[in-house]
Amino acid sequence: MFAVNRQRLLWESDRLRHPMSDSEAPISSIPTGPDEREDPESAPGLPATTLAAQAVPRSEIELDPLRERGGEVGSSAGVAQILRLAWPIMLAAGAVAVAGIVDRAMVGRLGEESGGAAIPLAAVGIATQFFFLVQSSLFAVGLACVALMARAIGAREPRRAQLAFGASLQVGVAISIGLSIPIALVAPWAFAFLGQEPAVTTAAVPYLNCVLASSVMMAAALVIESALRADKNMRTPMVVAVIVMASKLSLNWLLIFGHGGFPRLELFGAGLATLISQLLGLALLIASLRGRSAHSPLGVRMRDIFAINPRSREIMRIAIPGIAERLIMNTAMLSYIWVLGHYYGTLSVAAYTVGIPLLAFTWIPGQAYAQACATLIGQSLGAKQPDEAERIGWRAAALAIATATVLGTTVAIWRFEIAGLLTDDSAVIAALGPFMLALAMAQPLLQLQFTLGGAHRGAGDTTTPLIASCVGNWVFRVPLAFIFAIILKTEVSWIWYALILDHLARSAVLVHSFHRGAWKTKLP
């Protein structure tokens, strides 16, 4: 007990010795009004645009004003707190989304010389689905890192947070290697199995191998980002996202089209640009950790990374359901693509695999609310405030639905104009329109699902989102797609509408679970 109290005193004295941000200020200097504090934080990204952050210990000081007001925290104060954490995440994720759209637009221009954009767009779209299997599994590790670190920070136990950080790095790197190598080996066969013509496979495999090569760097980057988000300072990722996005797109222009004396590498050039940009992102992240005190939650030690870490098993326990969820989602998406490829052709595959990144900006708010929820709920539970954690979750859900309604309506009205930003190919634009309409209709459900999923994960409950994903994908989306395509032989629009029921089912599971409240006791 004495050792723990001594550690906390060292942490507080360390904060007073160093230049302070808003989060480090001594208790007497922290304003009690929610509008007086500076805004924090930010989020993860595409294969090419992983972000960095600089953070400092925040512990439960943010929670003290809430504790003083007890039950009268009030909806406005909670919303302000969520938005303070979420807005930099939205800006950073917006940079990522812009990079994704411009990236696809550049690839879409490759079809101008070969008579159509469908082949290069389908190639990069399906390759990204395989890479997303690695990336999304690492997101699960990052969420486990947030859950454990935020809980430790809320309880003012920096050493426990450091161990969770080191263990997350160990697990993340191991998973990236364990998934990337098998995917690279089976990729050519998998493309053929999915019904893709040889031209798509030929274009996609070199691109996929290149982005898979960046997975170890991405693993370390995503875990560092997660640790920084758990410590509630996300502004630097917003800046780094812009830097990494600019480097990715600049390298795209040079390497895809062969400008500035560089060879024309087409899709392989896009993959190489991803690899280089990922290296830059990781370097910036590592630089942001320099100078951390041994008493900071981010002051991870080398032995926490390279020696046996007692927290690795706990990270795996929390991450495994999340990884299983991602595997289920990816196999469902690939099954969806199998239906499209075999029954509706390359053009429909291009519409699906391109429409997702094209509309990525519309669910940025839901992702931002989810990350803010994960941090706030984790720290609230660590500070023994489960009722405040629940209020935070419901407020974030209401924000997500309101935001999604506006964005979904905008996309529905201007869907063809938005599709025209990506490609000049009229056939691809025509195919994108119905898909974008279906996704616009699903927006409130999608963002509600993101937000409450983040709330559960922040509490350490990764099993409920797994169950929701199983129900949505394998009870509704995939079976309905097979029924519509094989038995009823409907138009492709019916395949798109199946995803609305998928998101409705997932949202219903998460709302019911959050209302029951069992997530409050998932971690000790």
pLDDT in tens, 233-255: 667 667 777 788 889 899 999 99
326 vs 407, residue with greater confidence:
407
Q: Which residue has the higher pLDDT, 338 or 7?
A: 338
- Rounded to an integer, what distance in angstroms lies between the CA atom of residue 284 and that of residue 275? 15
CB 245 within 8 A of CB 15: no
In whole angstroms, give the CA distance from residue 85 to residue 43.
10
How far is it, in rounded angstroms, from Cα 109 to Cα 103?
10
Identify the DSSP state of 414. Answer: S
First to last CA, the chain: 18
Residue type at 469? S
122-142 burial, b at 16+ Cβ within 10 Å, e below that, comes to bbbbbbbbbbbbbbbbbbbbb
Here the tokens at position 450 are: 């993101």
Highest mean pLDDT among 54-68, 197-211, 266-280: 266-280
Print the SS3 string covering 315-379.
HHHHHHHHHHHHHHHHHHHHHHHHHHHHHCCHHHHHHHHHHHHHCHHHHHHHHHHHHHHHHHHHH
Sorted by sequence, the CB contacts under 8 Å of residue 414 that are 6+ apart come out as none
Angle between helical axes of 386-413 and 364-382 (0-180°, round to 10):
180
Q: Please report the DSSP string for 89-139 in residue order.
A: HHHHHHHHHHHHHHHHHHHHTTHHHHT-SHHHHHHHHHHHHHHHHHHHHHH
Q: What is the mean pLDDT of residues 259-266?
A: 87
Q: Across residues 147-155, what is the average pLDDT?
A: 85
Q: What is the pLDDT of residue 20?
A: 34
Q: What is the pLDDT of residue 441?
A: 93
| In the chain, domain spans | 74-521
How many CB atoms sit inside 10 A of residue 185's CB?
Answer: 10
DSSP-assigned states of every residue in 162-219: HHHHHHHHHHHHHHHHHHHHHHHHHHHHHHHHTT--HHHHHHHHHHHHHHHTTHHHHH
pLDDT of residue 195: 74
- Residue 396, Cα to own-chain centre: how many angstroms? 17
Given a contact cutoff of 8 angstroms between Cβ atoms, the answer to whether 10 and 188 are in contact is no
Return the minimum-mean-pLDDT range out of 5-14, 212-221, 407-416.
5-14
Distance CA 432, CA 415 (A): 8
Please choose, from the candidates 464, 443, 456, the residue with its C-alpha nearest in 3D space to the C-alpha of residue 506: 464
**112 falls in which pLDDT band (50, 70, 90)?**
low
| Whether residue 305 has pLDDT greater than 70 | yes
Amino acid at 351: A
Average pLDDT, the chain: 78
Residue 507 CA to residue 126 CA, distance in Å, equals: 26
Instruction: Summarize the confidence of residues 37-64 as an average pLDDT.
Output: 33
Q: DSSP character for 483?
A: I
Contacts of 434 (CB under 8 A, 6+ apart): 492, 493, 496
Which residue type does 293 have? Answer: S
Percent pLDDT > 90 in the chain is 25
Do 468 and 322 contact (CB within 8 A), yes or no? no
Per residue in 322-368, pLDDT (tens digit) is: 888 878 887 888 888 889 888 988 788 878 877 877 777 788 888 88
For residue range 213-234, what is the model confidence (pLDDT) as tens digits?
Answer: 888 888 888 888 888 877 766 6
For residues 470, 474, 476, 478, the Cα torsion angle rounded to the nearest 10 degrees is 140
Quote the pLDDT of residue 350. 79
158-162, 191-195, 321-325, 420-424: segment of lowest average pLDDT: 420-424
- 116 falls in which pLDDT band (50, 70, 90)? low
Would you place residue 32 in the very low, low, confident or very high pLDDT band (cuts 50, 70, 90)?
Answer: very low
More confident residue, 8 or 164: 164
User: pLDDT class for 524, splitting at 50, 70, 90?
Assistant: low
Q: Tell me which range, 4-13, 195-204, 282-291, is most confidently predicted by mean pLDDT.
A: 282-291
**Tokens 């070199």 -> residue:** 206
pLDDT tens, residue by residue, 164-210: 888 999 999 999 999 999 999 988 888 888 777 788 888 888 889 88
pLDDT band at 114 (very low <50, low <70, confident <90, very high): low
Q: pLDDT tens digits for 461-502?
A: 989 999 999 999 999 999 999 999 999 999 998 999 998 999
Whole-number pLDDT of residue 355: 81
pLDDT at 393: 93
d(CA 271, CA 112): 20
